[in-house]
Structure 1
């Protein structure tokens, strides 16, 4: 490796080994076997969500022309470490606060779903954070996410399935807060530009996410599974149609823009995540999908030109308008549906609305505060922050048999 690239031999391998040894000991003492007879559909849904994390998000982050090895490799490393950490955090919460133990498959399924928040946050600092920073960020975020869920369940009495679906919002807010503490790359930097081949691989990852998204919304539902699947699919279909329409309308020559399609086709699935099981008519899910796609594309146009320069936040993957804004829309839709379904019981309605709005604000607050603190700590000198000149480069972390010219 050339001398001007920093070596992580003295830090990264030892950090990974330390964490793995710690997880091994904690699993030995605190995680029971939990083997039970598992329904076939439960394992199938777990497989789909696992595919989303490893293949879907891994390939969707391949749009950077010189950061492909790191996008795939670091995503896999974070998932396998983060799932172990999430299992421990979930077991501690369930055992200490609720006094119950989870069976083996349900335990790991919830851990994989929780990792969605971490993977989303990674997209905001993609190419800027080194692997040491990413691992530490993942551990802190998993603990913070479970802490936020615990507060919602203990103080607001929200069911577990609802708190788990706040992962998109938590991940987007946490990632933006962490990214705000990193130095901004130069505008229009050559290494951060997209190439047709990179866009094609990134779209492949988006298609993985699109196909498996109904399983993601389904995996935590105890009842109403058929409704959840159909509502999620129709919301995704509507957001996809809207993405193509809006992309052609907002570009200069009336042509489709691949970045618009990648961002907006998933918006419907994110928006109905909290309400797919309770929406009674598919047309409501389709309206949500259309609104989510509109919010994503217009949000990308406005935020990238107005909000980001003012706040000095560089969001590599655009997680704030791909996941954050549709999650906000989903939270508002949840409140509207509560009002519609409980209109004849006004005293109960007021309490329900305040509880869900409080949980919504709690998630944003915990994610933003812990993300800001985490980003500040990660940028201390001891963690060897990569200089801006080395952003978006695989050669900082991977061995190449040849120079990556044209990579």
Structure 2
């Protein structure tokens, strides 16, 4: 291995131990005991659903490369559990600086887990090209910037906490795309950058888990009176997006067959889109229309991104986070504005509300892109590099195999 790259063994373990030591010290001095915490607005079963999504769902959702399964699931677990701790730390410090009320522990850890969705989405964009050292640094920077962005939306723009958290898909996708734009593109002759029926099957398993638990994700921070409405609308949006994904996949493929890549991405598009308006929509048919449009946009976006957008911009989006999360999230933000315009006569200051939500939308994308570009430049410094681009998309550099990888 060339000497210009940092040694894996002498960097990653020590960074992990250092970060964990910092959090242990923080928890000793600042975190309250469980017995002293007040009642939580989040139920433990709902927290379990979100935890399943982030750990199991995204862990297998990212298994899209034939020789990167160990790293996709293993690194996801490492980044998630480490990131949740630092998300708790970041939110606590920001609350302390703003003199905000200390939240219940379960509510705080739920928000931290939901914030890690942004990191999981960004990881999909740089999957196979980033090493654990880079992923850890990226996760810490992204958590800080997303917390700041969400705090701006909440305090200065007065966006509800449940709505502000739904920007997690938008932020994670565009942050990841900005980061991956700074990574060198893999060689077209590198055959490890492709999927297999086995990797597609594991990835579809993660998609199914995400689909099942998505109503809990969209409703967990919603006030009690609207929780059922949010879960109800989310389910219908997901159901329609899944059905349309199968139909539209057949219509857009050359041989008229289902394509797993379409199903893998488009069935979740309805859940992403409806997140902004799930608690506000009164009629389920509105949610179903959004699910339909989201699925169509995701599949159409997959064709457009791969052939028209990514090549000129030199962006290699490994897991297709742009059309899976970014485009449906943009549709959801626009649907939120359209919902305000529909109730124009019933609102006291509709123009102000429209500007507020458009401002939150633009602010989220701007912070994500700027922070992502800076992070991508930092991650490509020699200090954080462990492997060359010729070693992309391969488990063997990081994991011990009990056998030679013949046919792997």
TM-score between the two structures when normalised by the length of structure 2:
0.96
* Alignment-derived partner of residue 28 in structure 2: 28
Q: What CA deviation, in whole Å up to 9, does each residue of 1:342-400 have, x standing for no partner?
A: 3344x611100001000000000000000000000000011125211100000111111
Equivalent pair of 1:6/1:396 in contact (CA under 8 Å) = no
SS in 2 for 1:100: coil
- Residue in structure 2 matching 1:325, options 315, 324, 327: 327
Structure 2, unaligned runs of 5 or more: none
* Alignment-derived partner of residue 298 in structure 2: 296
Task: Summarize the Cα distance change of 1:159–1:341 in structure 2 as closer, same or farther, 3 Å threshold.
Answer: same
How far apart are the structure 2 equivalents of 1:100 and 1:27? Answer: 18
Q: CA deviation at 1:97?
A: 1.4
Alignment of 1:199-278 (within 5 A): 199-223=200-224, 224-278=226-280
* Alignment-derived partner of residue 90 in structure 1: 91
Equivalent pair of 1:180/1:313 in contact (CA under 8 Å) = yes
Q: What CA deviation, in whole Å up to 9, does each residue of 1:121-162 have, x standing for no partner?
A: 000000000000000000000000001111112221222222
How far apart are the structure 2 equivalents of 1:196 and 1:38? Answer: 47
Deviates more, 1:303-312 or 1:22-31: 22-31
How far apart are the structure 1 equivalents of 2:38 and 2:160? Answer: 24
Q: CA deviation at 1:6?
A: 7.4
Deviates more, 1:220-229 or 1:359-368: 220-229
TM-score between the two structures when normalised by the length of structure 1:
0.96
Q: CA deviation at 1:252?
A: 0.6
* Alignment-derived partner of residue 187 in structure 1: 188
Q: CA deviation at 1:187?
A: 2.6
* Alignment-derived partner of residue 166 in structure 1: 167
In the alignment, structure 1 residue 286 sits paired with structure 2 residue 283: no
How far apart are the structure 1 equivalents of 2:41 and 2:159? Answer: 28
CA RMSD of aligned residues (A): 1.9
* Alignment-derived partner of residue 139 in structure 1: 140
Instruction: Tell me which stretches of 4 or more aligned residues in structure 1 moved more than 4 Å.
Output: 1-7, 34-41
Q: CA deviation at 1:198?
A: 1.0
Task: Summarize the Cα distance change of 1:404–1:277 in structure 2 as closer, same or farther, 3 Å threshold.
Answer: same
SS in 1 for 2:154: helix
* Alignment-derived partner of residue 395 in structure 1: 396
Q: CA deviation at 1:72?
A: 0.6
Equivalent pair of 2:141/2:375 in contact (CA under 8 Å) = yes
Q: What count of residue pairs does the alignment treat as equivalent?
A: 406
Q: What CA deviation, in whole Å up to 9, does each residue of 1:41-85 have, x standing for no partner?
A: 711110011001111000111121000100010000000110000
Equivalent pair of 1:379/1:385 in contact (CA under 8 Å) = no
Equivalent pair of 1:31/1:88 in contact (CA under 8 Å) = no
Q: What CA deviation, in whole Å up to 9, does each residue of 1:207-259 have, x standing for no partner?
A: 00000000101111113111111100000000001100110001011000001
Q: CA deviation at 1:405?
A: 1.9
Q: CA deviation at 1:95?
A: 2.5
* Alignment-derived partner of residue 58 in structure 1: 59
* Alignment-derived partner of residue 110 in structure 1: 111
* Alignment-derived partner of residue 73 in structure 2: 72
Equivalent pair of 2:4/2:382 in contact (CA under 8 Å) = no
